[in-house]
Amino acid sequence: GNSVTQMEGPVTLSEEAFLTINCTYTATGYPSLFWYVQYPGEGLQLLLKATKADDKGSNKGFEATYRKETTSFHLEKGSVQVSDSAVYFCALITGGFYGGATNKLIFGTGTLLAVQP
Amino acid sequence: KAGVTQTPRYLIKTRGQQVTLSCSPISGHRSVSWYQQTPGQGLQFLFEYFSETQRNKGNFPGRFSGRQFSNSRSEMNVSTLELGDSALYLCASSVPGQHYGYTFGSGTRLTVV
């Protein structure tokens, strides 16, 4: 079945350090891939997405490239800030453009990022 | 444009009771999904509704049910609450189709005592 695997946390970095959070997936068909972020006490916010191979999603300095050959969608940021401290979830969805029977998000377990000043 | 609104934000119930949670999607979004988030199981899909029809259901017991109204607002109901039902329940809305992603609400924190 479809699944997402992301690196275990927590990831602790100093401000301005480089961030990588690894994410790999298993899916039938051609999934769309997402990164969501959850701040304490909040719901999930869509951070970025990519809908086909070689697409690069980007937002707020974060980037991730859809790599079909390695089934990966690693999240990167060149210089993290204390305000980036949160839990990051990698997710995929399949189901076709008009929706379908499997049109649901499959999430990884989440990676806690703690950025220290 | 208003986001996804979930009510109530917090809820404390006793074992054996039932509970109803509400979700108002973003205007124009006709697809609404529900997820349960717990420390042990992570984020798990409950069900998805589109145009008042349940299109997909996760692996949860029949005590968990939902519905969607003609204005796309959705409710989920949990009957005969168990301690293990304590969780953050998240609602998400979307334009149908896998390319758009889902916009989540802030969730309802349910505590069963």
| Distance in angstroms between the alpha carbons of the first and the last residue of chain B | 37
pLDDT at A95 over 70: no
CB-based contact, B5 to chain A, within 8 Å: no
Give B18→chain A minimum CA distance, Å: 23
CB-based contact, B107 to chain A, within 8 Å: yes
Give B21→chain A minimum CA distance, Å: 15
CB B76 within 8 A of CB B65: yes
A31 and B98 in contact by Cβ < 8 A?
yes
The mean-pLDDT minimum among A12-21, A37-46, B5-14 falls in A37-46
- How many other C-beta atoms lie within 10 A of the C-beta of residue A2? 15
CB B90 within 8 A of CB B113: no
- CA-nearest of A83, A90, A84, A82 to A111 is A90
Q: How many residues does chain A have?
A: 117
CA atoms of B104 and B83, how far apart (whole Å):
25
CB-based contact, B20 to chain A, within 8 Å: no
Rg (CA), chain A: 14
Q: What is the pLDDT of residues A73-82, one digit of tens each?
A: 999 999 999 9
Q: How does residue B17 score in pLDDT terms, banded at 50, 70 and 90?
A: very high
* Residue B19: C-alpha distances to residues A46, A84, B11, B47, B49 (Å): 28, 35, 9, 17, 19
- How many other C-beta atoms lie within 10 A of the C-beta of residue A87? 18
CB-based contact, A46 to chain B, within 8 Å: yes
CA atoms of A111 and A19, how far apart (whole Å):
12
Torsion of Cα atoms, B91 then B95 then B96 then B100, to 10° = -90
**Chain B residues closer than 8 Å to A4 by CB:** none
Phi and psi at B83, nearest 5°, equal -55, -35
CB A96 within 8 A of CB A102: no
Q: What is the pLDDT of residues B26-81, one digit of tens each?
A: 998 888 999 999 998 999 999 999 889 998 899 999 999 999 999 999 999 999 99
Of A43, A100, A109, the CB nearest to B104: A43
